[in-house]
């Protein structure tokens, strides 16, 4: 008995080593694919986008009296009695009102073992600036696009209702317009673009003052999530396919932004590696219960039989590792489960009979291989599910074996010699005598 248990443990350890190698190779393949493909997807589809609020400014000439502190650096080397120097000063005019809308449409894309959270965005922004300088000024509006390498379809920009071309330099649009004293400047822009992983609306560098601000964001997904140090929406409303989120501020001074992190899809490579690394736990429960049940039913299963059972378990993860990047992960999981269970049941049918193979062994494999592995699809609940199943298994085994005298059982198995040959069957009496 001791030698048989040792042989089963040796088979178990060797299988665990194989799983460790397989899980490591899948993890490395997935990590390398993610790193190399991320830049490839970003160059084709777009990168994470950050839309910065527009700004407006004008330039004015300021005289600097000779000898003043402000002009000392500029007039270094000048002689006494020189005329006042002049310098050009840039003055920012306040953004009085913002009406922004962003519609985000998530569309996951897959390459190899990696899913990427790509999205399309429909952006629309209406802004009002006010010339509070007391004089007519030539105001320059500056609007920076999120990414110079991205695609902007249907881009438009108007100033006071008039379409403008403007100058685009380093992905920044600059428009000049003369504004009378106390006058306002209405700037409206919109475009369709696409990005990756996240979308952010920024008020500018550092702490910025925001007046009369409203932003409406619509998503086509339910799993909304916000980046760290981002402002939470003040109101939200559920729609048929996602959410309608609203941010509204009368007067705000903040260095935080508004953003949305796109929900990530279940990664096949990461999932397969986690299932593979967890496989020893499944096989441990299966071997343990198989050993107990065969002991209770007085069924003789040789360690070589355990070797083939372990190989059938290993086939599940090996097949899953090389089908998850070719077909849908759920379909691959279903096929691999069916193949592994078929191997076990069809083999034990020859060893101990169909009834035990299908009822006991097949059910155990379904629970501890398929069931335990599927818990990894339930993100955040896999550990709890396995813990509950382990406790229930422990209770059942304790009830089944509570009356076994283990000392006597092991002694009887150790002292048991080879079985005696059956007595010869007497010939049937035909009534004929010599």
Domain ranges of the chain: 2-32+266-406, 46-61+87-261
Q: How far is 361 from 344, CA to CA, in rounded Å? A: 8
pLDDT tens per residue across span 281-292: 999 999 999 988
pLDDT over threshold 80, residue 83: no
Residue bearing the bigger pLDDT, 217 or 401: 217
- Of 415, 310, 293, nearest to 356 by C-alpha is 293
What lies within 8 Å, CB to CB, of 20 at 6+ separation is 277
pLDDT tens per residue across span 286-328: 999 998 888 888 888 899 999 999 999 999 999 998 888 788 8
Q: State the pLDDT at residue 312.
A: 94
102-106, 148-152, 404-408 — most confident range: 102-106
Q: State the pLDDT at residue 106.
A: 92
Lowest mean pLDDT among 159-173, 221-235, 248-262, 399-413: 399-413
Q: State the pLDDT at residue 101.
A: 95
| Across 334-349, average pLDDT | 94
Band of pLDDT at residue 120, cut at 50, 70 and 90: very high
Q: How far is 125 from 98, CA to CA, in rounded Å? A: 7
pLDDT over threshold 80, residue 126: yes
Band of pLDDT at residue 88, cut at 50, 70 and 90: confident
DSSP SS3 for 79: coil
Band of pLDDT at residue 72, cut at 50, 70 and 90: very low
pLDDT tens per residue across span 352-370: 999 999 989 999 999 999 9
- Axis crossing angle, helix 329-351 with helix 268-296, rounded to the nearest 10: 20
Q: State the pLDDT at residue 377.
A: 87
Global confidence as pTM: 0.70
Q: How far is 249 from 243, CA to CA, in rounded Å? A: 20
State the DSSP H helix or E strand holding residue 179, giving kind and residue range, or none if neither: strand 172-179
- Options 3.40.1190.20, 1.10.260.40, 2.60.40.3680, 3.20.20.120; CATH of 46-61+87-261: 2.60.40.3680
CB-side neighbour CA atoms (13 Å) of 351? 21
What is the percent of the chain with per-residue pLDDT over 70, rounded to a whole number? 86
Q: Judge contact between 163 and 157, C-beta under 8 A.
A: yes
Q: State the pLDDT at residue 77.
A: 46
DSSP SS3 for 200: strand
DSSP SS3 for 153: strand
Instruction: Output the CA–CA distances (angstroms, integers) from residue 30 to 22, 42, 77, 108, 277, in the order listed.
Output: 12, 18, 65, 17, 15
CB-side neighbour CA atoms (13 Å) of 207? 4
Biggest alpha carbon–alpha carbon distance for the chain: 159
Residue bearing the bigger pLDDT, 83 or 244: 244
Q: How far is 209 from 186, CA to CA, in rounded Å? A: 19
């Amino acid at each position: 008995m001791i030698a048989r248990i040792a042989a089963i443990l040796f088979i178990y350890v060797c299988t665990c080593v194989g799983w460790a190698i397989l899980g490591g190779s899948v993890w490395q393949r997935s990590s390398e694919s993610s790193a190399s493909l991320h830049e490839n997807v970003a160059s084709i589809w777009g990168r994470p986008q950050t839309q910065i609020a527009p700004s407006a400014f004008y330039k004015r000439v300021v005289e600097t009296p000779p000898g003043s502190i402000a002009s000392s650096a500029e007039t270094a080397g000048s002689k006494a009695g020189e005329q006042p120097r002049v310098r050009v000063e840039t003055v920012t005019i306040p953004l009085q009102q913002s009406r922004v809308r962003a519609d985000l449409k998530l569309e996951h894309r897959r390459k190899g073992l990696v899913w990427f959270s790509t999205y399309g965005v429909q952006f629309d922004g209406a802004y009002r600036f006010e010339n509070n300088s007391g004089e007519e000024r030539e105001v320059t509006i500056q609007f920076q696009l999120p990414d110079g390498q991205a695609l902007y379809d249907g881009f438009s920009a108007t100033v006071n209702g008039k379409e403008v071309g403007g100058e685009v330099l380093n992905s920044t649009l600059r428009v000049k317009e003369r504004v009378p004293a106390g006058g306002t400047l209405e700037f409206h822009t919109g475009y369709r673009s696409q990005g990756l992983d996240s979308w952010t609306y920024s008020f500018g560098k550092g702490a910025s003052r925001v007046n009369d601000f409203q932003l409406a964001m619509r998503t086509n997904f339910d799993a909304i999530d916000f980046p760290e140090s981002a402002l939470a929406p003040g109101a939200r409303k559920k729609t048929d396919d996602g959410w309608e989120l609203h941010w509204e501020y009368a007067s705000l001074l903040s260095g935080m932004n508004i953003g949305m992190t796109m929900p990530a899809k279940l990664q096949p490579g990461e999932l397969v590696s986690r299932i593979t690394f967890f496989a020893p736990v499944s096989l441990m429960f299966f071997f343990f219960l198989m050993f107990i049940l065969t002991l209770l039913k007085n069924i003789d299963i040789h360690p070589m039989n355990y070797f083939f059972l372990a190989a059938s378990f290993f086939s599940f993860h090996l097949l899953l590792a090389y089908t998850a990047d070719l077909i849908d992960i759920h379909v691959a999981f279903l096929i691999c489960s069916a193949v592994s269970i078929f191997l076990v049941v069809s083999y034990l049918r020859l060893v101990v009979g169909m009834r035990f193979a299908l009822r006991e062994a097949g059910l155990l494999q379904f629970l501890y291989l398929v069931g335990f592995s599927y818990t990894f699809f339930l993100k955040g609940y896999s550990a709890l599910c396995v813990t509950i199943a382990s406790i229930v298994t422990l209770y059942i085994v304790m009830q089944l074996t509570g009356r076994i005298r283990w000392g006597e059982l092991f002694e009887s198995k150790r002292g048991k010699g080879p079985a005696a040959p059956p007595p010869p069957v007497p010939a049937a009496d035909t009534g004929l005598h010599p």
